[in-house]
Amino acid sequence: MKFKEFKSGNYRQQYHYKSFLPAKINHEWTWDDPRINVMLEKATKALGELNAFTLIVPDVDLFIRMHVMKEANTSSRIEGTRTEMDEVVLDELEVIPERRDDWGEIQNILEEVMGFRRNRIFVFRKYLDIF
């Protein structure tokens, strides 16, 4: 199927509203622009490098979770929070009372982004010795 001829789906009238029914995308695709081939080759190479990286890192899931924690901590500083990275992985009762509100803000971000639960964050503390 030519890339430019693809229609992503149709609107269907259903009772008093319209719904969008997406088209199936598992087609053999063709295109006339050779630049797309170059972009696909670059994307495939990047995916290969990422896959190789997963062989080096002992626990990829932990790496991703810690990276998300770092990003949540960094982005929350825009709002004026002052929680340090070592506090992010602590249990709420271990954070000094003056910083618990800031700690809670970061935990809210983590809960939204990754589905972390506050009482489970402390599990990561045992992995800090790895880093």
Note the pLDDT of residue 64: 82
pTM: 0.50
Nearest to 122 by CA among 89, 73, 85, 77: 89
Higher per-residue pLDDT: 89 or 35 = 35
Determine contact, residues 53/86, Cβ cutoff 8 Å. Answer: no
Structure tokens that stand for 46 in this block? 């990047």
Q: Is 46 helix (H, G, I), strand (E, B) or coil?
A: helix
Burial bucket for residue 105 (CB in 10 Å: 0-12, 13-18, 19+) = middle
pLDDT digits (tens, 9 = 90+) for 99-127: 999 999 888 888 888 775 544 444 444 44
Q: Is the pLDDT of residue 63 over 90?
A: no
Higher per-residue pLDDT: 31 or 114 = 31
Contacts of 40 (CB under 8 A, 6+ apart): none
Q: Is the pLDDT of residue 10 over 80?
A: yes
Distance in angstroms (rounded) separating the CA atoms of residues 63 and 54: 10
Note the pLDDT of residue 1: 79
Q: Where are the domains of the chain?
A: 3-56, 60-127
